[in-house]
Amino acid sequence: VSRAAQLCAALASGDRRVLARLLTIVEDGSEQERREVIATLHPIAPRARVIGITGAPGVGKSSVTNAIIMALRADGRRVAVIAVDPSSPFTGGALLGDRIRMQVHHADDGVFVRSMAARSRLGGLAAAAPEAALVFAAAGYDDIIVETVGVGQSEIDVAALADTTVLVMAPGMGDAVQAAKAGILEVADVLVVNKADQPGAGMLESELRTMLEVGHAALPPGDGVDGTVWVPPILRTVAVRSEGVRELVEAIGAHAEREPRPRALSSADTVDASGGTVDARELLRSRRWVLELALGVLRERLGRSERLDELAAAVVDRRVDPLSAADRLLATLRVGEHEVP
Ligand SMILES: Nc1nc2c(ncn2[C@@H]2O[C@H](COP(=O)(O)OP(=O)(O)O)[C@@H](O)[C@H]2O)c(=O)[nH]1
Ligand SMILES: [Mg+2]
C-alpha cells in the first residue's frame, strides 16, 4: 500500500499530522501522489461550504477571519482556513501577525489553519486551493475559509472556488474605487466595511452603495433564478471586537443557501445528462477545476516537446509564422497517443 493511500485511510481518525501531510502532497507533492490523493478522496468527501475572504492588505481580513472562526465554532461547526501567502516582502509583517493571531485557535481541534504560497505550484492558487479544500472536506470540516491578499487575479480565483466571496474594505484606503477598478465588486457577494470604529466608515459605505446601485441598474431586469437578483449586502464590522460578525455570518449563510447568480452559466449548463438539475455553482467550479488541470498538463507536455525548439527556430528564421507554429505544436498532441489517467 502506498504512502498516499495510507494517509487517506488514516484521515478519518482525525490525526492533524495526517491532514497536514495530505495538504503538503496536494500543494507540492509528486504528480503520482497528488493523483492518488485526489482520486481516493473525491468520491467520499462530503460537500463543505467554501467562504472566500479577500481585500487589500491591512484592511483586516485576518481579523475578520478570526472573528468568523469564533462565531462558527460557537455554532458547533468545524472550520479550516487556507491563508494564501502572497510571498511579498511588503506583507511579511502582517503575515507574522496573522500567525500569532491564528494561534489562539491552536488548541482547538475544530480549527485548522494552513498557509499556502501563491506560487507554490504551477497554476498557482487556482490549481492547489481546490485540492486543499477537497482534503479539508474529506477530513470533516464544515466550512473552509480561503483568505487571499492582494489585488487582481487572486480575488477572481477565490471567487471561482468559493460559494460566497466576502470583500473586506476599511475606511481611508481608497478601497472602494480600487475595488471597482479591478472588477472585484462584481465577484463580491458580501461587502464588509471593517474598522467601523475608525473615521470615514460611513463615507466608504455610502460610496459602495452608490457603486452597487450603478452596477445593478446596468443588469437586465429579472436576472435571477426566481426573478430576483442578489444584491450584495454591505455590513459594518469591528473585527478586533467581534462587532457585526454575527450579522456577517448570517449574510454568508443566506447567500450560500440561495441559488447562484445565473449570469455565470447558460441555462443549458444547469441540466445534467440525466435531465436532472445540478448545482450550477458546483458545476461552474468543477468546470474551471478540470480546465485548469487540463491546461496545466498541456503546458507541461507542450513545454518539453522537442518540436517546440524546432518551431521556435523556424519562427526566428521567418520560415513559419508564430500562429502556424502554434497550430503545428498543437498538432503533435494526438488523442490516444497518451495514456488517459
Ligand atoms: N481599529 C481597528 N483595527 C482593526 C480592525 N480590524 C483589524 N484591525 C487592525 O488592522 C491591522 C491589520 O489587520 P489584519 O487582520 O492583519 O489585516 P489583513 O492584512 O487584511 O489580514 C491589525 O493591526 C489589526 O489589529 C478593526 O475593526 N478596527
Ligand atoms: Mg491577513
Distance CA 142, CA 47 (A): 8
Taking 3-state DSSP, the helix, strand and coil percentages for the chain, each rounded to the nearest 5, stand at 55, 15, 35
Q: How confident is the model at residue 58 (pLDDT cuts 50, 70, 90)?
A: confident
Q: 494526438: which residue's cell?
A: 334
Distance CA 247, CA 11 (A): 34
DSSP 220: P
State mean pLDDT over 171-179.
72
Of 220 and 146, the structure prediction assigns the larger pLDDT to 146
238 lines ligand 1 (CB under 6 A): yes
Residue 119 near residue 86 (C-beta atoms within 8 A): no
For the chain, the residue count is: 341
240 lines ligand 1 (CB under 6 A): yes
243 lines ligand 1 (CB under 6 A): no
Q: Which of 134-138, 177-181, 287-291 is least confident?
A: 177-181
SS (H, E, C) 17-52: HHHHHHHHHHHHCCHHHHHHHHHHHCCCCCCCEEEE
Query: Which ligand is nearest to the Cα of residue 245, counting in written order?
Result: 1
Closest listed residue to residue 51, CA positions, set 27, 74, 69, 63? 69
State mean pLDDT over 27-41.
92
Distance CA 239, CA 243 (A): 6
Q: Whose CA is nearest to atom 13 of ligand 1?
A: 60
Q: Whose CA is nearest to atom 10 of ligand 1?
A: 60
- Cα 303 to ligand 2 centroid, rounded to whole Å: 35
171 lines ligand 1 (CB under 6 A): no
61 lines ligand 1 (CB under 6 A): yes
**Backbone conformation region of residue 124, classed left if phi is above 0, alpha if psi is from -120 to 50, else beta:** left
Mean pLDDT score of the chain, rounded to an integer? 80
- Cα 51 to ligand 2 centroid, rounded to whole Å: 15
Q: Whose CA is nearest to atom 1 of ligand 1?
A: 195
150 lines ligand 1 (CB under 6 A): no
Distance CA 112, CA 145 (A): 10
Residue 244 near residue 196 (C-beta atoms within 8 A): yes
Q: How confident is the model at residue 242 (pLDDT cuts 50, 70, 90)?
A: very high
Flag whether pLDDT at 102 surpasses 60. no
State mean pLDDT over 119-128.
59
pTM greater than 0.85 (yes/no): no
Distance CA 155, CA 147 (A): 9
Mutate to test the pocket of ligand 1, among 63, 90, 115 (most ligand atoms within 8 A of CB): 63
Of 14 and 285, the structure prediction assigns the larger pLDDT to 14
Distance CA 260, CA 16 (A): 33
State mean pLDDT over 271-296.
69
Q: Whose CA is nearest to atom 17 of ligand 1?
A: 60
Edge to edge, what strands does the sheet with 111-117 contain? 111-117, 79-85, 143-149, 49-55, 164-169, 190-193, 234-236
- Cα 236 to ligand 1 centroid, rounded to whole Å: 14
What are 304's three cell numbers?
518539453
- Cα 172 to ligand 2 centroid, rounded to whole Å: 18
Flag whether pLDDT at 79 surpasses 60. yes
Q: 502554434: which residue's cell?
A: 326
